[in-house]
Chains A and B, each alone.
Chain A
């Protein structure tokens, strides 16, 4: 089974570095656009690499499910869920949100966090090294970037809310033969409400992960 282990490692190494490259593009174009054009143009500049890098992360749910990585599905699912939701159900679906300054804070928070995370895992899988500086970054920057990222997500969803209501986009109305209805406005409110228990859960999860990682580092030092 040694062959399978090597295959897994190659796959994960490639995955992490490819997605890293995606986020690098996002950060580069975001910063460039902010310096030259202004915040309204940031989304247009980063759209394609953002959609690519963020959507690719869906694979990580399967990585956890099939035991390729140790992360529990209970932690990856809400994280990826909220990212995909904001990327596709808000930004892509409601163009009115794209010119908001919150897009910049969102994109910067996400890309910096992800660059640290993917390079950390990429180093480990490809080269077998876990640079302590990267590890420190990974388990420390979230203290700031989680709040800024989460606030940006909530802010963008709130920005989209009036357009969600008026446009009736993705709504399914009754009567119909399947006797089912879907109200996007209500669903969006529900999603916003889920951030109330969800955010402390993710934040304390990372704090727990930090404690575990630092204890391990101390032991092996």
Chain B
């Protein structure tokens, strides 16, 4: 079959269209487009969709594994619309840069005499909680990097390059904000009991979070077949995104121990972002596992933060 490839403005992107076999998939089409555009538009950079039907506001994006003969409606012209998503990076690349910043930035405030640059005295007294906090923080981000390369199984999805800058701003700025105040020469520590409770909670939740990640990794088909699976076992029996729950409570532990406005504001923002993701995932799972036509029905679970959400 002959497939015409146009841009969103209607201009033809590949002159003369692309000739493909009847059994060709969307993936094959993307590979052909990659070749025919002088190698610039690798498949992850392409978003292929069908022309908008009247009344549609959002285009139908074409899924890689589908056969082309199945995606085109009966009797329609074989036209796909190509959007260049811009340079893409792998999730592991994105995560690495996000996490490596905080890993090195925080200890700078603990070890180096930076406060003299804002006219404050160089640190005289180091409270135990400040030492533990530095170890805790660095362990946390080290764990995240290790999980990125050795635990998480990413789908083939990629992120736009611009996300690297955006996300690094978020993580790195908060790292500076929190590290500045926890290691401040005039920092006021909380009582010893509170500190132990905070770090204790944090450590337990980090371990639980790691176990959640193991469970999620094992959900993925070794062949990397897409599709959502219902997470089961451990906290997932009660909460859809138990991995986010444990992450949020882990930060709560850190903040109970260190008690700064900076740390708590990070907790609030992170919880908000994760809740947004969790709601999306919960909805997708409920929609996919609707109990109809022999499919399993998604069990009644909390989304992310029992008993509220």
Residues in chain A within 8 A of chain B (CB atoms): 174-181, 183, 186
Contacts and interface: CB of A to CB of B under 8 A. Distances in A.
Interface of B: 118, 181-182, 184, 186-188, 258-262
A178 B260 contact: yes
Contacts of B258: 179
Contact of B181 (A177, A180, A186): A180
A183 B261 CA distance: 15
A176 B261 CA distance: 11
Contacts of A175: 186-188
Contacts of B261: 178-180
Given A175-B188, A176-B188, A179-B259, 11 more contacts: A174-B186, A175-B187, A177-B188, A177-B259, A179-B182, A179-B187, A179-B188, A180-B260, A180-B262, A181-B184, A186-B118
B227 to A, nearest CB: 35
15 contacts: A174-B184, A174-B188, A175-B188, A177-B188, A177-B259, A178-B261, A179-B182, A179-B188, A179-B258, A179-B259, A179-B260, A180-B261, A180-B262, A183-B118, A186-B118
A177 B181 CA distance: 12
Nearest to B263: A179
Chain A interface mostly: loop
A186 B260 CA distance: 20
B169 to A, nearest CB: 13
Contacts of A183: 118
Nearest to B261: A180
Contacts of B259: 177-179
Contacts of A178: 259-261
Contacts of A174: 184, 186-188
Nearest to A172: B261
Contacts of A186: 118
Nearest to B188: A175
B41 to A, nearest CB: 27
Contacts of B186: 174-175
Contacts of A177: 188, 259
A177 to B, nearest CB: 6
A179 B184 CA distance: 8
A221 B261 CA distance: 57
Contacts of A180: 181, 260-262
Contacts of B181: 179-181
Nearest to A176: B188
Nearest to B184: A174
Looking at A178, A179, A180, the one whose CB has the most chain B CB atoms below 10 A away is A179
A176 B262 CA distance: 13
A183 to B, nearest CB: 8
Contacts of B262: 179-180
A80 to B, nearest CB: 22
